[in-house]
Amino acid sequence: MGPPQPDYLNGCAMIETSLIPLDLLNVLHSIEAEFGRVRQEVWGARTLDLDLLLYDDLIIDLPTLQVPHPRMLYRAFVLVPLSEIAPNTIEPKSRQSITTLCNQLEHSDINLFV
């Protein structure tokens, strides 16, 4: 996706929070900024990129936040690690499991780092 960039490490985490989705997104952006992330190039290489992929089974469509993440279904580098921690989670728009969505994409070039 986007311009050529070096190899990178991508991961997913499941958290429990009392924050509403927009507040959680603001916290994620604050963490990125603390680690020196500067938003310059769309889809370019980044020092840190924290995305809000899913939030329970909510569907959110706001100018500043879309949940489920609008491009996660097309990104093996997202679905492979997500399927490791949440294989049976249902993506609310497609109503398919994360494992099913992952298996629909070519992902032979994705290497798990454990």
Catalytic residues: 37, 46, 49, 51
DSSP-H helix ranges across 63-110 = 76-85, 98-103
Dihedral of the alpha carbons of 61, 66, 71, 72, in degrees to the nearest 10: -120
At position 22, the amino acid (one-letter code) is L
Contacts 24+ apart (CB under 8 A), 49-52: 51/78, 52/21, 52/24, 52/25, 52/28
- What are 34's two structure tokens? 């603390």
